[in-house]
Chain A
Amino acid sequence: MLSRRPPHYQAWLVLLAGLRFHARHPAQLLLTIAGIALGVAAVLAVDLASDSANRAFAATARLLRGQASHEIVRPGGLVPEAVLAALRREQGIAASAGVIEGRVRLADDPGRAYRLVGRDPFAATRVGARLAPFGDAALWRRLLATADAVLLPAPVAQALALNAGDELVLADPWPGRRLPVLAVIDDDRQRLIHADLLTARELFAPGGGFSRIDLRIDERSAARLRPWLERQGLVLRSVPERLAQLTGMSRAFRVNLQALSLLTLVLGGFLVYSTVAFAVVRRREIFGLLRGLGLARRQLQLAVLAETAALALAGVALGLAGGIVLGSGLVRLVLRTISDLYLVAAVNEFTLSVAALAKAVMLGTGAALAAALLPATEAALTPPAEAMHRSAPLRRAPRRYRQLLLLALVGLAAAAALLATAPALPFAFAGLFLLLVALALAVPPALAPMLRGCGRLLARFGSLTGAWAARGAAAQLVRTGPAAAALMLAVATFSGIGLMIGSFRSSVGIWLDYSLDADLLLRLPAAPGVDEQSLLDELRELPGLAGWRLDRRRPLPDAAGLGSLRAVRSDPRHGRWPLSAVPRAELLRSLAAGPAVIVSESLASKRGLRAGDRLTLLTPSGARDFEVLAEFVDYSSDLGTVAMDLDVYRRYFGDRALDSVGLFARPGSEQQLARAAAELAARHRGMRVISTDFLRDISLAVFDRTFTITEVLRLIAGLVAVIAIVNALQAQRLDSARETAVMRALGLAPGQLLRLSLFQSGLLGACSGLLAVPVGLLLAWLLIAIVNRLAFGWSMGFAVDVGLLVDSVLLAALAGLLAGWWPARQALRWPPARGLREF
């Protein structure tokens, strides 16, 4: 009786035969490994960047928290020093420490703000602020004993090229003031300077008081303290609650990075699929033969999967190396972005995360095996006689296309349902990916009639050889479909993300135009303070001045303290607010009447605020409700902004400080005003004049840096496009080798063959590019209308850049042409007799 179980060595021989096959075709082997490696590298790099973002946010949390449980702040001002003494004496809370902190700018690096934190180190230990990493107690004693001395975390010292014994020179506040660097300490945070309370007090609170008092208390003590503090106009904030809000805010950023990584994975997955499928397809006949010799289906499947695993391991190893290189670059970009957007970067080093490596390995091999499973199963299920005929899959194309269309329709319906009802970002991303995968499935059935239509047109009005090329491309789609889908997806990603960034940039540009509508910005020093009345008197004397606007910005005085509050008063002669959503005179009147505010879209979205709702802000006289009158567009931060009239602000918060004054020049007097303003600033210590054009450029530079990581992804998408199309054309050349040989036997000249091959590859690329246009538009619209709205709460206009779309189609066609060159040259190297003999 015949055993149903064939000997094991058969499968090993099949595997060996497969590996030898690859060894004999090194260029295609490299292409396959490169496809896998590119996917793995991209995913790992984005993951490493995402990891570093997480660590930055975690370190920021440490920075904010120390180990304090609560903090006492005074909305609109400093906490009186007497409160600390009273806390200890009257309330019996020993675990309390005063902190004075503020932002400084340094003469050597005026473009960045640093956070200078002044502590009483011995009191700080009572609330658990960890001193050990910042140096030993003896060092702190020396710090207390040395006037104006500071301690620098190692990354800050490195960035500023300073060592112990050097000096920091301030640009703002107190320009020119020198702070000796006592030591460089083992602290991994950036843009942070440690000082003692006395130094910080001289800089930020010469009149006395703390920025906050840190406490370590339980909730019962907090409940007992609250009324006592409120009576003094003070607010007790829970630190974990504040951290939770910050985590919530940063989550959107991290989710976006994760989404980029997943999108890369989808692209990489299609690429891996097309390369692996191609590697299997080209040995169909061999598989048919082996099956005819008695190889069991399961053995064939296993052999193909084992061989794919071997290729995947090589690709993954290469991908890991590439991912680490790419990742170290991306980490710098991401940290810079976080630093720009959230002002709290706290890590700098590139750390290799084991989890990210493991994920990349598993996803790389998993995607490759999943990609191999379908063709391996197809190879195993195909009857041997049919497998030995190369054209067999082509005959099954219509049925395959119907199945793909059906799958695509089901996917589209599910994606639409997810996107329409997405309550949160992960659902929107799930919908988006489902949509992209569904659209990618529809590529072969959509391309086939396009290419056949080209063939018909060419047969009627052009040349038969052109028609042959177009129809050949259509007929081969059953094989080249996955690669064409990868190409479409890559080009759609390229154009979709490009459109989204372009739309965003255009909206930010418009926003900057009206929010930076003044000609010059007079930045006032936090200390020494400027007397408002005398400043206004001086402003009135400035030649060429048409008007001014007073501006006060500060952290949002609410329980969380995240986001910002902006109080603005317009010059009566000018009458405008720098916020586009407030064009109506009655709204300005309502704001001036107060208590009323307008809120940025991101704040409204995160807190579910609408016009007519009330927003509670903490004023020195206790919590107060402010009516929300409207929303306004503000891209300065996704943490949210609240704006109110400056007089209303002063009435409720009692804070008369100013941060800046916008100066408007009379037409034609801009230069004159700039000179006069510079002279005015020179008379005041710490006052600076900044051109709003400069600020606009800086803002756009920050914007561009923010999206550099996205641009890198676009580049990867472009590479995927090229590799995908090279694969497609390799498969096509193989399938049409006999036909090509026949054409050459009929007298097709080498030049004609080269032109036809390039035409065929360019046509396939261009048609895939054309399909990518609507998909790119849809992707951009979804990113703008749903994803960004859910992630950041920002709305933006949809600017369709026709040039970018045309570029995308051209990119696809060019990728096709470039990729077609090599297979065409290869085809020409063989005498026609070989094509007729071997295929």
Chain B
Amino acid sequence: MADKLNNGAESPDGGDDRPDFRLSGVSKHYGNPERPVLRDLNLDIAAGERLVIIGRSGSGKSTLLNLLGALDRPSAGEIRYRGQRLDTLDESRLAAFRRREIGFVFQAFNLVPTLTVLENLLLPAELNGLPRRTAAARCQRLLAEAGLAELAARYPDELAGGEQQRVAVLRAVVHEPSVVIADEPTGNLDLDNARRTLDLLQAHSGDRGRSLVMATHSRQVIGRATRLLEIRDGRLVPAPC
């Protein structure tokens, strides 16, 4: 894993017997240690798993996803990805980890408004050093499979919300990450668009041996879970599927 983060090569010991993520005693607070958002979490996430996190607003769902995606650091405890500690890596290595291993889908889509749909998809590929021609072909294929090929030259603000989120899903998987993290992916969508987005997410994640971790309030999303956890008072508790 360390080699992969350092050099971009697959680690020889990155075996499948270990979980993708292992969180041990993870806590997180913002400013006041007396009021942590997450307390002493312990969690394993297996490869290919579709884990859904639920909880009340402000319960810490997004915080947990940010920690998993290395967008933030825990206040205490350790986070391992395939055996490698993440919380001790410097920012450059964390960036490399995010670039290669993680695909993000946000509630607010967060497409880059000054890049076209195709360019948004090319962006992770470019950051990962894929040749432009290869990357473009892959992006075009993904867009065609998702029925979005005709939108390739458009800018995000010319798309409907559902279209933007499906493009965001494609951007999250275009570089074939090991884990896709989706924070309220259907929070801004109607039922039909939510279903199509989840279909696309499912098609590009769990079904292909890729882990998918989602935070949500939506029953539709909960229905796609292979495991469901709830955050209650800063702690993870199992929830019935």
- Interface residues of chain A, those whose CB is within 8 Å of chain B, are 391, 395, 455, 459, 463-465, 467-468, 471-472, 474-475, 738-739, 741-752, 828, 831-834, 836-837
Contacts and interface: CB of A to CB of B under 8 A. Distances in A.
Nearest to B126: A464
Interface stretch (B17-25, B93-101, B141-149, B230-238): B93-101
Contacts, number: 94
Nearest to A831: B72
B126 A833 contact: no
A455 B114 contact: yes
* A-B interface, 8 closest residue pairs, ranked by CB to CB distance from nearest: A747-B99, A471-B114, A833-B72, A749-B95, A833-B66, A833-B71, A832-B71, A747-B98
B204 interface: no
A121 to B, nearest CB: 83
Given A747-B99, A749-B95, A739 B112 contact: yes
Interface in B94-143: 95-100, 102, 104, 106, 110, 112-115, 119, 122-124, 126-128
B92 interface: yes
A148 to B, nearest CB: 83
A747 B71 contact: no
Contact of B114 (A474, A831, A833): A474
A459 B92 contact: no
A462 to B, nearest CB: 10
A463 B110 contact: no
A828 B110 CA distance: 19
B162 interface: no
Given A475-B114, A746-B127, A836 B122 contact: no
B126 A465 contact: yes
Contacts of A391: 113
30 contacts: A459-B119, A463-B126, A464-B115, A464-B123, A465-B123, A465-B127, A467-B114, A468-B114, A738-B110, A739-B113, A741-B71, A742-B106, A743-B123, A744-B71, A745-B98, A745-B104, A746-B99, A747-B100, A747-B127, A748-B95, A748-B99, A749-B91, A749-B95, A831-B66, A831-B71, A831-B73, A832-B71, A833-B71, A834-B72, A836-B110
B126 A750 contact: no
Given A745-B102, A836-B66, 9 more contacts: A455-B114, A465-B123, A468-B112, A474-B114, A742-B104, A743-B123, A745-B69, A751-B92, A836-B71
Contacts of B113: 391, 475, 739
Contact of B95 (A395, A459, A742, A744): A744
A468 B115 contact: yes
Interface in B49-100: 62-63, 66, 69, 71-73, 91-92, 95-100
Contacts of B66: 831, 833, 836
Contacts of B128: 747
Nearest to A476: B114
Contacts of B106: 742, 836
B122 A464 contact: yes
Contacts of B72: 831-834
A833 B119 CA distance: 23
A161 to B, nearest CB: 64
A395 B73 CA distance: 36
Contacts of B114: 455, 467-468, 471-472, 474-475
Contact of B92 (A467, A741, A750): A750
Given A455-B114, A465-B127, A746 B98 contact: yes
Nearest to B67: A833
B104 A746 contact: yes
Nearest to B95: A749
Nearest to B116: A459
Contacts of A834: 72
Interface of B: 62-63, 66, 69, 71-73, 91-92, 95-100, 102, 104, 106, 110, 112-115, 119, 122-124, 126-128, 157, 171
Contact of B124 (A463, A747, A752): A747
A742 B124 contact: no
A182 to B, nearest CB: 79
B110 A749 contact: no
A467 B119 contact: yes
Nearest to B121: A464
Contact of A747 (B63, B96, B110): B96
Contacts of A747: 95-100, 102, 124, 127-128
Nearest to B107: A836
Given A464-B122, A742-B112, A748 B71 contact: no
Nearest to B122: A464
A745 B104 CA distance: 7
Contacts of A471: 114-115
A831 B106 CA distance: 16
Q: Which of B62, B97, B115 has the most CB of A within 10 A?
A: B115
B215 to A, nearest CB: 13
Contacts of B110: 738-739, 742, 836
Contacts of B104: 742, 745-746
A746 B124 contact: yes
A16 B169 CA distance: 44
Contacts of B95: 744, 747-750, 752
A393 to B, nearest CB: 13
A467 B112 CA distance: 11
A747 B95 CA distance: 5
Q: Which of B63, B92, B123 has the most CB of A within 10 A?
A: B123
Contact of B127 (A395, A741, A748): A748
A468 B95 CA distance: 18
Given A474-B114, A831-B71, A749 B122 contact: no
A436 to B, nearest CB: 31
Contact of A467 (B69, B97, B115, B157): B115
A837 B58 CA distance: 12
Contacts of A468: 112, 114-115, 123
A737 to B, nearest CB: 12
A243 B112 CA distance: 70
Given A832-B71, A833-B66, A744 B98 contact: yes
B75 to A, nearest CB: 12
B182 to A, nearest CB: 12
Nearest to A470: B114
Contacts of A744: 71, 95, 98
A741 B98 CA distance: 12
A468 B112 CA distance: 8
A712 B49 CA distance: 68
A832 B102 CA distance: 14
Contacts of A738: 110
B124 A750 contact: no
Contacts of A828: 91
Contacts of A459: 115, 119
B198 to A, nearest CB: 21
B92 A746 contact: no
A76 B69 CA distance: 95
A395 B127 CA distance: 29
Contacts of A831: 66, 71-73
B236 to A, nearest CB: 19
Q: Which of A464, A467, A741, A828 has the most CB of B within 10 A?
A: A464
A467 B106 CA distance: 23
A463 B130 CA distance: 12
A837 B124 CA distance: 21
Contacts of A836: 66, 71, 106, 110
A832 B104 CA distance: 12
Given A744-B98, A750-B95, A751-B92, A464 B69 contact: no
Contacts of B62: 837
Contacts of A749: 91-92, 95-96, 99
A485 B128 CA distance: 38
A473 to B, nearest CB: 9
Contact of B123 (A395, A746, A833): A746
B27 to A, nearest CB: 16
A335 B114 CA distance: 56
Contacts of B69: 745
